Amino acid sequence: LMYVHHVLQNIETYGLNSSSIRNVVFIADKDTLKRFVNPAMYSRFHTSLLEIVAYPDRIQVNTIPESIFNEAHDGNKREILVLDGLKSITTSGPVVFERILVTGYLKGRFFINDDDYASKRNFYYSPIQFPPTITRDSMSFRENIDLWMNQGSIPDTANRMALRMVFIDRKGERRALSAKSKENLFKILREICAKRGFTFEVVAFEGKPASEQIKLVHDAAIVMGVHGANLVNSIFMPPLAVLIEIFPFRFSHVMYVEGGMASLKYYALHVSQGSEYPGLSELKMSADECVRKQEVCKVFYRDALMELSNGDFTEVTKIMQDAFNYLAQVASPLSTTLE
């Protein structure tokens, strides 16, 4: 989905123009397709994300409109199709594409670095010290979010941060903080936020529709959470906001660094204590090597219940201080210039 967003925002880079793209076809596997066929069962997340990416074009799931076969084409309209395969559009005979652009897969990120492709579009910069990488695609994505949320208009508050810190909580004990650690962490965070004039909120996304999930982080200056799929919602945060990711003992990942190139300032807290994998000694390798090479080992550390140490709480305090010092610099909107 996010690669298609990149293409639609950089059509000239691929030798096309906006009126030349008549159809966008997503070929979805069985597991993905069900999320579009029954969107309510999956918080409408995938459907909402595609609506944002394709805005204002219409989305059709497992339906083939006759208009895609018409020679005459309204250059202002595209068909966005989610299908289980190309066979469904060849029932009346073979289909020849005049031109086709096949997208790739973004590994470990949601947006492409501006340096990775040629473009004449505006690029963004910030005069603050040590800003995150600011990507064009993440900025245009946020514009689509505002258009999608506000029926085609962009509010004056777009890309503005509120004095809010949001902690994304997880249900259950898989890849979660222990009750005692959570209690102590929340106490520290509430006190720190109160001193800075910030509110501190704990939210859980389970059971909430995508639109509500987006609203919960859309103006948050700071979001913190344990590594996992919930942090995908960081792409809906304001540019230059702060994302703090908590990693279980022995585990780390680059997926959400800077929000997956979403123009966010990023900090990581690595939990310093925990249980070792029971079969580690028999494997005759270090824990780090075990995590890299053995799936069962990786899952053991990644999904463990976390107990924060005194040193971890000290590190949290330091990260929060650094984050607030950074945010103090973010006092004006982003500037733009032509490349």
* Closest C-alpha among 136, 130, 141, 111 to residue 261: 111
- Report the C-alpha gap between 10 and 145 in whole angstroms: 18
Per residue in 216-231, pLDDT (tens digit) is: 999 999 999 999 999 9
- Report the C-alpha gap between 37 and 25 in whole angstroms: 15
In the chain, CATH 3.40.50 covers 162-332
Alpha helices (H) along 10-162: 30-37, 45-54, 136-149
| Torsion angle, alpha carbons of 46, 51, 103, 69, to 10 | 120
Could you give phi then psi for residue 188, rounded to 5 degrees? -65, -45
- What does the pLDDT read at residue 333? 47
- Report the C-alpha gap between 205 and 217 in whole angstroms: 11
Contact predicate 108/234, CB 8 Å: no
Tokens standing for 53? 């990416």
- What does the pLDDT read at residue 334? 46
Reply yes or no on whether the pLDDT at 192 is more than 70: yes
| pLDDT > 90 in the chain, percent | 68
Sign of the dihedral defined by the CA atoms of residues 33, 61, 139, 161, in that order: negative
Per residue in 25-34, pLDDT (tens digit) is: 888 889 999 9
- Give Cβ neighbours of residue 17 (< 8 Å, ≥ 6 apart): 11
- What does the pLDDT read at residue 295? 95
Per residue in 237-281, pLDDT (tens digit) is: 999 999 999 999 999 999 999 999 999 999 999 999 999 999 898
Q: Is the peptide bond before 39 cis (omega within 30 degrees of 0)?
A: no
Reply yes or no on whether the pLDDT at 338 is more than 60: no
Q: Mean pLDDT, to the nearest integer, of 302-310?
A: 97
Is the model more confident about 310 or about 170?
A: 310
- Report the C-alpha gap between 154 and 149 in whole angstroms: 9
Is the model more confident about 45 or about 76?
A: 45
Looking at 1.10.760, 3.30.420, 3.40.50, 1.10.3470, the CATH number of the domain 162-332 comes to: 3.40.50
- What does the pLDDT read at residue 73? 59
Neighbours of 168 (CB within 10 A): 23
Q: Mean pLDDT, to the nearest integer, of 285-293?
A: 93
Reply yes or no on whether the pLDDT at 339 is more than 50: no
Per residue in 89-137, pLDDT (tens digit) is: 888 788 787 778 888 788 889 999 999 999 888 888 888 889 999 999 9
Reply yes or no on whether the pLDDT at 319 is more than 70: yes
First to last CA, the chain: 26
Reply yes or no on whether the pLDDT at 337 is more than 60: no
Q: Mean pLDDT, to the nearest integer, of 18-40?
A: 89
Q: How many CA atoms lie within 13 A of 240 on its CB side?
A: 25
- What does the pLDDT read at residue 97? 78
- Give Cβ neighbours of residue 41 (< 8 Å, ≥ 6 apart): 34, 35
- Looking at every residue in the chain, the average pLDDT score rounds to 90
CA distances 310 to 38, 158, 188, 244, 313, Å, are 46, 39, 12, 18, 5
Per residue in 48-96, pLDDT (tens digit) is: 999 999 999 989 998 887 777 666 656 567 889 999 988 878 887 887 8
